[in-house]
A = this chain, B = another copy of it.
Amino acid sequence: MSILKTLALSAVGLTFMTGAAFAADCKPSQWGADDEIGSANLVTPERTLAATKLIKQGKSVPLGIVIDSSTPAFPPRGLSLQVVQPNQQGGGRLFAYNGSYNDDLVQLWLGIGSQLDGLGHLGQDGMYYNCNDEKDFAALTGLKKMGTHNVPPLVGRGVVLNMAKHFGMESLPAGKFFTAADIQAASKAQGVEIREGDIVLFYTGWTDAKLESDPVAWASGEPGTSEDAAEWLASKNVMAVGADTWGVDVVPPEKEGRPFYGHVILLKEHGIYILETMNTGPLVRDGVTEFMFVLGQPRIRGTVQMIINPVALY
């Protein structure tokens, strides 16, 4: 098939008219001009060994939620699953031993439920992380750069900050944002230092409170980070920022006309990964504030995002 495609495209002389990169505003990555993986460079043997020490009880908790066709998602995302039984029509069996099997296929948007946002997800004026122009890397059949398949396992120290507790609430409402000062205050009060290379997760109570009881409300807004919170987290050189919300950034946004600008700050400006709909409730209820975080995301070449289920070990 790839031979066919090459032939057909060359036959029509398909040379694309890509404009010059809009490079004015471009800040090269601290990891070098060719870097595609950003803060995943912070995975080091030292940090991994240190994180190992956080496993004290031997517990392992999945941070991914269960999704299905009714899970609300940012439009027009959705999913549909089919379980089939090839070659078994009418109760037919396979092989000499009367075998039977189920197989499955999905039609799936990769930004549903618990997800990793890759560095090619959000940009500004068509420019993405490390001076990459969408015209150069964003092919319909898969990103040519910064595909999430290239991200090495994100392994390190995970911390969870209870922002609901910080505000003295069970769960934060949509539109409630927390700033750098809030994070620092919560960090101090809850005894959780934020360090370089950390995977920083927030607990807002939003998903626990709303996903099941009012899925429309859940997907229509969320508490989350302010812009200066994203900037401050980036200044700490963390590996990833996540929350128990579908978008991490506060919605409706802190500043009119600037929704999801924290994505631009983290992904584009700093190459820091975003982890959405992280199920941090069980950690909070178990009194955990730091843990070993291990994420191995499935590797489909050229994906922008990926459905994930990181493991918290403590």
Contacts and interface: CB of A to CB of B under 8 A. Distances in A.
Contact of A298 (B8, B107, B309): B309
A85 B305 CA distance: 13
A310 B296 contact: yes
Number of copies: 4
Which 3 pairs, one residue from A and one from B, show the smallest C-beta to C-beta distance?
A91-B91, A45-B58, A96-B257
A155 to B, nearest CB: 5
A59 interface: yes
Interface size class of A (residues with CB under 8 A): 35 or more
B7 A93 contact: no
A83 B17 contact: no
A304 B86 CA distance: 13
Contacts of A149: 66
Interface string A270-284: 000000000000000
A205 interface: no
A311 B294 contact: yes
A17 B78 CA distance: 25
A26 interface: no
B257 A313 contact: no
Interface in A14-73: 14-19, 43-49, 52, 55, 57-70, 72
B258 A81 contact: no
B19 A92 contact: yes
A209 interface: no
B45 A57 contact: yes
Interface in A203-227: 215-216, 219-221
Given A296-B296, A300-B106, A44 B67 contact: no
A65 to B, nearest CB: 7
A233 interface: no
B85 A82 contact: no
A239 to B, nearest CB: 13
A59 B307 CA distance: 24
A180 interface: no
A104 B220 contact: no
Given A80-B78, A81-B300, A308-B296, A98 B17 contact: yes
A52 to B, nearest CB: 5
Contact of A126 (B68, B90, B258): B90
A83 B17 CA distance: 19
A293 to B, nearest CB: 10
A257 B301 contact: no
A6 to B, nearest CB: 9
Contacts of A109: 103-105
A138 B84 CA distance: 8
Nearest to A108: B106
A86 B4 contact: no
Interface stretch (A140-148, A160-168, A186-194): A140-148
B138 A83 contact: yes
